[in-house]
Chains A and B, each alone.
Chain A
Amino acid sequence: MKKFVTILLICTMLLGICASYTSCSSSDKNSESSDKSSTLQEDPTSKGEVDKTVTLTFLRIGNDAPEANYWKSLIKKFEEENKNIKIQYDDAAIGEPMETKLNTLFAGGAGPDIIGHGILSVANRVEAGHYVPITEYFNQWEGKDDIMESVLANGTYKSEVYGLAYSTTPYIFAYRKDMFAEAGLDPEKPPQTWDELREYARLLTKKEGDRIVRAGFAFPMAAGNFVEFDVFVFGNGGRFYDDSNMPTINTPDKVEVFEFLKSFIDEVNIPYNNNEVNPFIKGNAAMTLINNVALRPMLDDPELKDKVGVAVPPYNKVKATFSGCNMLFIGRDCKNKDEAWKFIEAALSKEQVLERSKQLNIPVTRKSLLEEFSKLDPYNAVRAECVQVGIGMPRTVWSPRFQTIRNEMVQKVLYSKMSIEEALNEAQNELMKEINQ
C-alpha cells in the first residue's frame, strides 16, 4: 500500500510538471488556455492602449464536432483578419447543459461576450438583463434588409433587436419513396392534407401480430420540446399567444389537432423520444416530421439518399411548420461590444452563410442567397420554403413555462389521461397562474 501511494504521488507530481509545461508550450503556440488568462488579467489596465489584444469569449449551443470545426475555422480566419481580437471559443451540448452553464456564468457575473443560443432564451434573458440590445449596430449593418423577416422576428423583442440568426432548423416532412412505391402510392406525391396523411399512414404501417414493426407515421410520445405538435397547430392556422402576448391554449384549433392525432396515431406509430433517434432514421418508419439537420445521416448515405423524400409538412388550413433558430447575442458582461459586433458581422456575411449551408446543410437566412442555395441541393428548395413559412417558439417571458406545460398537456392527451378540453383548459389556467404571479 505504501509503495502504491508513493508511486501515485510521484505520478501526480510528474503530471503536474507536464501540466505546467504543456500550458506553457500551448501559450507559445498562441493557443487558448494560459494565453487567455494572461490577457484577461491585463484587461483592466489595457483599456487605454489601442493596440492591445481584446479577448472575447464565445459560447455556442451544441457541441457536435462538425459545427464546432466550422466555428473554429471561422474564428481562425477572423483572427487573421483582425489581429487585435482573440476569440475564445466554447460550447455546451443542447438543452440542459447549455442552460446550466449559461445561467451559472451569468449568475456569477462571468457571462460570455458573444452567445449563440435559441429563440426560447430571448424574452427571459432580455428581462433578466443577460442580453443587450444590438439595434444600433443592426441599423448600420449592410445585411439589414437582406435578412428574412420571419428569421429577423425571432431575435426581436419589444421592438429592439437582440439576436441575429446564424442557423435555422425547420422541421420538415420526410418520407420513404421506396416504401411509398411498395404500398402503391406515388413516390413523388407526398401527402399534402391531414386526411391524406392519415390515409397514407395507415397504408404504410406494417404489423407482426399486435406489434407495429414499421410505423406509417412516427410521432414522438416523449419529448424535451414537443414541436411536432406545434407543426400541426400552425398548419391548422393556430397560435399559442395573441397580439398582447397572452397565452391562447384552449382554442378550437388545438382541439381539432388533438382530435386528428388521436384518430390514428395509436394505430400507426412506434413511440420514441424526440431527444433520441427517430425511428425514421433507423428505417422503421415511412413518414415523420423531423429536424432538418437530423436527416443528415440518411442523406449522406449513398444507398438511402434517393429513397428519402422531403416536403413541407401536410397542413389543414395554412402552409406552416415549426422552425427553430439559433442566434448570436451580445452578453451583459461584454466590455468590448464593437469587437463583438465585428465578429457577429463576420459570421453573418453572405460568404459565411453560404459556407454554413454547404458544410452543415443549414438553410440560408439571407434573401439574396436563396437562388444560389436552391441550386446547391435538390432538397434545398423545400428547406428554404420551410424556413419561410416557419414559426418559432413564443417569445414571451412565460415561454419556458409554456414549454413544460405544453409537453405535459400533449402527453396527457396522447396517453388518454385527460379529455382534450380538460387538458387544454388546465394548460391555459396553469399559464395564466404563472403570468399573474
Chain B
Amino acid sequence: MIRSMKYEVKEIKKPFPYFLTKSPNMSKRRISRDDISAYIMITPFFIFFVLFVIVPIGYNFVNSFTNYNLGKTRDFIGLKNYINLFSDKNFLQSMYNTLIYAAFSVVPLMVLGLISAVALNGRSKILHVTRALFIFPYITSMVAVSMIWLYLYEPSTGVFNKILLGLGLKPQNWLFDEKLALSCLIVMNIWKNIGYVMIIYLAGLQSIPQELYEAGKVDGASDFKMFYKITIPMLSPISFFIFVTTMIEGFKTFEQVRIMTGGGPVNSTTTIVHQIYIRAFSEYKMGYASAMSIILLIIIFVITMINLKIGKGKE
C-alpha cells in the first residue's frame, strides 16, 4: 500500500527540477520561436532591472577598486581595499557575527514558519484571526519593532527580567551582555520574520494537489508520514526560495543593529552591512565599503550555489 504512494510521489517529483536545468544541446541549438517570446516577455522587467539594479552594482564594483570618498577623490588603487579588508579586525568579527546571525535565523525560521503554515492552513474564522495576528510583526516597520524589543530587553524594568525574577532566576543584561546580545537580535529577527515565511509557505501549500493526500489516506498513511512524504518534497522549490531570501536578509541585517546595539558591546553584534554603513557614511570611505559589499556578495553567492548543487544531488 505504502509502496504505491511512494511511486506516486516520485512521479510527481519529476517535473520539478528546482536546480538550474540545462538540456544537452541547448548551447548549440538555434534561437526558436519559444526563445523569442521568452525574450519579449522578460523585456519589461529587465529594462528596470538592468537600469536600476545591475548598473548601480557595476558602478559599485568599479568603486571597490578606488579610494572614492564621496567627494573629489576617486583614484584607482587596485586591490588595496581587498587586501586591507583581511587585516581589518572589525570586518572579520563582523563576518563571523553575520554568519552566526544568518545560520541561526534561517533554520528556525524555516521550521517554525512551515509548521505554522501547515497549522494555519484552512478556512475557518479562528484561522483567519490567528493568521492576521501572526503577520503583525512582519508588516510593522523595523524601527517600531526594534523599539518594542528595546523595551522588553531593558535591564532594570524590562519585561524579560521581570519574568526571570518571577521564575526565581538571575536577571540578565541582555543587549548589554556581549555573550547574549547577538542571540537577542536573532530571537527578535525570528519573531519578526516568521510571518513572512508563513505567508509564502501558505501560498505554496495551495498548489499541492489534494489527490496526493487522498491517495495517501487511502493507503493508510499517517498525517506525519504524509507531511514528510508529500508536503515537504512538494514544497521544495518554495523552501529553496525561502532559504535564499531569508539567508540574504540575514546577511544584509543592519537596521536592528543600528537601532538596538550600534554593533556593541565590544563589536559583538556588528554585522557586515553595519560595517559597510559605518565605513561608507560615517567615515566617507565608499571605496572600502564597496569592497566589503563585494565580499558579502561572494559569500552569499557561494552559499546559494552550494544549495543549488545539493538540491541537484538529491534528485
Contact = CB atoms under 8 A, between A and B. Distances in A.
Q: Do the two chains touch directly in the complex (Cβ atoms below 8 Å apart)?
A: yes
Nearest to A213: B156
A221 B171 contact: no
A221 B156 contact: no
Interface in A267-326: 270-271, 273, 275-276, 279, 282, 284
Interface string A386-426: 00000000000000110110011001100101000000000
A100 B281 contact: yes
Given A222-B264, A400-B282, A404-B278, A270 B175 contact: no
Residue of B69, B156, B157 with most chain A CB atoms under a 10 A cut-off: B156
Given A270-B156, A404-B283, A129 B71 contact: yes
Given A100-B281, A404-B283, A282 B262 contact: no
A349 interface: no
Interface string B152-177: 00011100010001000011010110
A107 B72 CA distance: 9
A271 B173 contact: yes
Contacts of B280: 103
Contacts of A417: 178, 266
A44 B278 CA distance: 37
Contacts of A88: none
A128 B175 contact: no
A38 to B, nearest CB: 27
A99 B175 CA distance: 25
Contacts of B82: none
Contact of B176 (A128, A221, A282): A221
Nearest to A214: B156
Interface string B7-44: 00000000000000000000000000000000000000
Contacts of B175: 222, 273
Residue of B70, B90, B277 with most chain A CB atoms under a 10 A cut-off: B70
Interface in A196-227: 210-213, 215, 221-224
A215 B156 CA distance: 9
Contact of A129 (B72, B259, B267): B72
B284 interface: yes
Contact of A103 (B70, B150, B155, B258): B70
Contact of A223 (B72, B157, B262): B262
A89 interface: no
B261 A222 contact: yes
B204 interface: no
A273 B284 contact: no
A271 B131 CA distance: 37
B236 to A, nearest CB: 27
Contacts of A411: 264-267
A127 B175 CA distance: 37
A96 interface: yes
Interface in A223-282: 223-224, 270-271, 273, 275-276, 279, 282
Interface in A94-131: 96, 99-100, 103, 106-107, 124-125, 127-130
B30 to A, nearest CB: 38
A403 B262 contact: no
A69 B155 CA distance: 35
Interface string B191-227: 0000000000000000000000000000000000000
A99 B157 CA distance: 33
Contacts of A129: 71-72
B258 A408 contact: no
A287 to B, nearest CB: 15
B284 A103 contact: yes
A274 to B, nearest CB: 9
A270 B72 contact: no
A276 B283 CA distance: 23
B262 A270 contact: no
A395 to B, nearest CB: 15
Given A403-B282, A404-B282, A128 B72 contact: yes
B156 A212 contact: yes
B165 A128 contact: no
Contacts of B173: 271
A34 B261 CA distance: 40
A59 B220 CA distance: 70
Contacts of B170: 210
Contacts of A125: 71
A99 B286 CA distance: 13
B175 to A, nearest CB: 7
A106 B264 contact: no
A415 B281 contact: no
Contacts of A403: 282
Contacts of A96: 258, 277, 281-282
A241 B90 CA distance: 24
B156 A284 contact: yes
Interface string B278-314: 1011111010000000000000000000000000000
B264 A99 contact: no
Contacts of A415: 178, 265-266
29 contacts: A96-B277, A103-B70, A103-B280, A103-B284, A106-B71, A107-B71, A124-B284, A125-B71, A128-B69, A128-B72, A128-B73, A128-B284, A129-B71, A210-B170, A211-B171, A213-B156, A221-B264, A221-B265, A222-B175, A271-B173, A273-B175, A273-B260, A273-B262, A275-B259, A275-B262, A276-B150, A400-B282, A408-B266, A417-B266
Given A210-B171, A271-B176, 8 more contacts: A99-B282, A106-B70, A107-B70, A128-B70, A222-B261, A224-B262, A273-B150, A412-B266
Interface of A: 96, 99-100, 103, 106-107, 124-125, 127-130, 210-213, 215, 221-224, 270-271, 273, 275-276, 279, 282, 284, 400-401, 403-404, 407-408, 411-412, 415, 417
4 tightest A-B CB contacts, nearest first:
A128-B71, A271-B176, A222-B264, A99-B281
